[in-house]
Structure 1
Amino acid sequence: MPFSNTHNKYKLKFSAEEEFPDLSKHNNHMAKVLTPALYAKLRDKETPSGFTLDDVIQTGVDNPGHPFIMTVGCVAGDEESYEVFKELFDPVIQDRHGGYKPTDKHRTDLNHENLKGGEDLDPKSVLSSPGFGAPGGTWGYLGDTLWHLDYLGSTWGVHGDSWGHLGGAKMSHPMSPRCPQCPPVAVMSPMSPDVPHYAGLSFWGGSGGVPCCPPDVPPTSPGCPRRHNDNKTFLVWVNEEDHLRVISMEKGGNMKEVFRRFCVGLKKIEEIFKKAGHPFMWTEHLGYILTCPSNLGTGLRGGVHVRLQHLSQHPK
């Protein structure tokens, strides 16, 4: 489904010098790399789905960044974006990922048996292990930065049909009421009202001010559901920043079990998608391909919530 990009065709009536954005006050990787010459070279290119350079940099233009935090400032609309606009993405990736060169090959180890330690964090100090989450994109579908409401249904068709095949995971519960129109999948269960925003696992709002978020797709869209298992330790978001976001979490300090659940669940989901003809997007160089360059590779994030009982008593 090509992305309608008539606005870019209109912009090409003007010179590159006229259209080059003022990045003098921006603090992001895109602004460091993009020059007037590079903009002029790439501005008339587009991916097969219609994603252009102006689409790539729009979030970085709209969001100058923080004086002390270097944001990325650019996004991919599809898997081809990283190739068509590689002269911008490659140096951004190299800068953002500590010198990762265009010739480097990504290595991923998601064998939970190779993890050493992690099961002995003090439960008196660890409130919970939000643990591990990873976004994922599937071949054959546009990135979230290209989505419109009429497109979400087809992606949900692939993703939504998968939860009934997860066996023991029982991904039957929608995280409502944020998505009241989600298609029913097995037993419907409302989000607990005493857990605000589902323990912090809520969607970004539909705003152009949020990087990697399509501005015209609200989080209450029927194509933006979330699912969790019975005890809410394994969650999946669909059609938010990326096609999927897989999250494993639990109370206490057993990070090893959190990681095991994550790896097993992610493997099952990927097997289902492969059978449906839509494996996760992956290349030998970039690893798993995702909307934001900061998430390339495994897209894996880990962390814990800790209890600092005496912090308020510290003299500082």
Structure 2
Amino acid sequence: MANASANKIAAAKEPSFREVMKEEMCEALTGLREELREDTLVPTDPMSLFNLKRGSPEEEFPNLKYNYTCMARILTPKLYTRQFNRATQSGVIFDDVIRPGLEEPGKLHGPMSVGCVAGDGQSYILFCDFFDRVIEAYQNHKMSKLQESDFNHDNLKGGDDFDRDYALSCEVSVVRGVDDFGFPTHCSRGERRQLFMLAKKALDQLAEELPGKLYSRAELSHDKEDKGVTVGAPSLSQLRNGVARDWPDSRAVWISKDGTLAVWVNIDDHLRLVTTRDDANIAEAFQCICVNILKLEALYKKLRHPFIWKQQLGWVVSSPADVGTGLRASVRVKLQHLPRHKRLEDVLNRLRLRMDNTDCSEVYNISNAQTIGLDEVGFTQLVVDGVKLLIRMEKRLEGEEKIDDLVPLQK
């Protein structure tokens, strides 16, 4: 009897099969949680998945001796080494970033190009110590400042009262990058086609308020009807840096019926909105951009693919020359005397403007030299005020008067 009682007590202390299985499952789940937690805290380095046949950073450092881009001014062996073994989740490596500047090194006395491009939005974060320096040097901007955005067109003062004997026409454009997609130099055909379908959905809804039609790049090339929009063949630069891969697959332009707005899809960035006017009324052009970019922003959010915004960079696009606002406001101005004046370059620098030649003699394109540091209204205001001052200077020079007292302080 004593032995029987002891056996019962022992059996009672032994765990049942169900209890054993439950304990083992708990241990397994605990181990799985730990593995997941470790994976979350230490994500897999994409570079470890590649098998690139590369030498050391010292062996791979590019020859920048005759390179006159902003990239070449910034890049050092030490900086290159820090970026060398990094890759974004979509596979962008640092050599992809600097390739445009290596393909087109520029000229000693020519305009300096930025010389680099982001392959995706994450590039600006992963390679921030490089991109921040490029933006600071190229755009004369301190990255410690936070970027703001303002599309309230009522805040713009003037722009509808230029002297029409000098101001001939105007254009305002803005570029946007779409979240979760590679930029044009890096995206796949599939991504580009998805971007096209997203744009079509959004623009079809925009057309309910502003009637318009989406034309493929091929349709624009072969349709003889003048649509008021010119999109030429890919430039040599676009061919070299990969923007024009698979051209013209999934490239298109949406054109409003009234001709006030064009939206470029996958041409040079994910999206570019363009408004051109023959009356140089930049206030009206800016209003058109403001109203429709806000509508498109809301539509893309609804489609769960918002435009890329980062607090210090503003609106993020492929080129560091366009981050911040992505906005270019320009006025075509007839100037005969001012372009030959010795103080012109100093005046433009103080006004934070750039002057480019056009295909017409004595006609120049005046636009904002930067896209980051001010909001959209601020940059457009610089152009409005600057063009008025340049016209005033031109009139002085026509009368053989001096303009020294008109030279502004640094803006």
TM tier, smaller? 0.7 to 0.9
Residue 204 of structure 1, CA deviation: 5.8
Question: Is residue 214 of structure 1 aligned with residue 243 of structure 2?
Answer: yes
Q: Distance in 2 between matches of 1:210 and 1:44?
A: 27
Identical counterparts, % of pairs: 31
Equivalent residue for 1:179? 218
The residue correspondences of 1:83-102 to structure 2 (distance < 5 A) are 83-101=125-143
Residue 133 of structure 1, CA deviation: 0.3
TM-score (normalizing by structure 1): 0.83
3-state DSSP class of the match of 1:38?
Answer: helix
Q: Distance in 2 between matches of 1:64 and 1:49?
A: 27
Amino acid of the structure 2 residue aligned with 1:202: V
Q: Distance in 2 between matches of 1:141 and 1:194?
A: 30
Contact 2:214 2:252 in 1 (8 A): no
Q: Distance in 1 between matches of 2:202 and 2:241?
A: 25
Contact 1:206 1:216 in 2 (8 A): no
The residue correspondences of 1:78-157 to structure 2 (distance < 5 A) are 78-101=120-143, 103-130=144-171, 132-157=172-197
TM-score (normalizing by structure 2): 0.65
Q: Distance in 1 between matches of 2:194 and 2:238?
A: 26
Q: Distance in 2 between matches of 1:228 and 1:215?
A: 21
> Could you give the per-residue CA deviations for residues 36-71 of structure 1, whole angstroms, max 9, x where no partner exists?
222222111100110000000000111102323221
3-state DSSP class of the match of 1:168?
Answer: coil
Aligned length: 293
Answer with 1 or 2: which has the greater Rg: 2
- Greater relative contact order (Cα < 8 A, sep 6+): 1
Contact 2:99 2:241 in 1 (8 A): no
Residue 88 of structure 1, CA deviation: 1.0
Q: 1:99 to 1:32 in 2, by over 3 A?
A: same
Equivalent residue for 1:205? 234
Q: Distance in 1 between matches of 2:237 and 2:166?
A: 38
* Aligned counterpart in structure 2 of residue 18 of structure 1, from 49, 59, 62: 59
Question: Is residue 231 of structure 1 aligned with residue 258 of structure 2?
Answer: yes
Contact 1:173 1:190 in 2 (8 A): no
Residue 124 of structure 1, CA deviation: 4.2
Equivalent residue for 1:185? none
> Could you give the per-residue CA deviations for residues 1-54 of structure 1, whole angstroms, max 9, x where no partner exists?
xxx999x74233x12222111011111111111112222221111001100000
Residue 162 of structure 1, CA deviation: 1.1
Contact 1:56 1:77 in 2 (8 A): yes
Runs of 4+ in 1 over 4 A off after TM superposition: 206-213, 307-312
Give the RMSD, CA atoms, in angstroms. Answer: 2.9
* Aligned counterpart in structure 1 of residue 93 of structure 2, from 47, 52, 59: 52
Amino acid of the structure 2 residue aligned with 1:152: R
> Could you give the per-residue CA deviations for residues 127-186 of structure 1, whole angstroms, max 9, x where no partner exists?
3222x1011001111111112333321111111111111133223142x6x42399xxxx
* Aligned counterpart in structure 1 of residue 286 of structure 2, from 259, 264, 269: 259
Q: Distance in 1 between matches of 2:226 and 2:261?
A: 19
Equivalent residue for 2:225? 192
3-state DSSP class of the match of 2:145?
Answer: coil
Q: Distance in 1 between matches of 2:163 and 2:98?
A: 44
Q: Distance in 2 between matches of 1:181 and 1:192?
A: 9
Q: 1:261 to 1:157 in 2, by over 3 A?
A: same
Equivalent residue for 1:272? 299
> Could you give the per-residue CA deviations for residues 186-206 of structure 1, whole angstroms, max 9, x where no partner exists?
xxx9463596xx3xx425616
Q: Distance in 2 between matches of 1:265 and 1:26?
A: 40
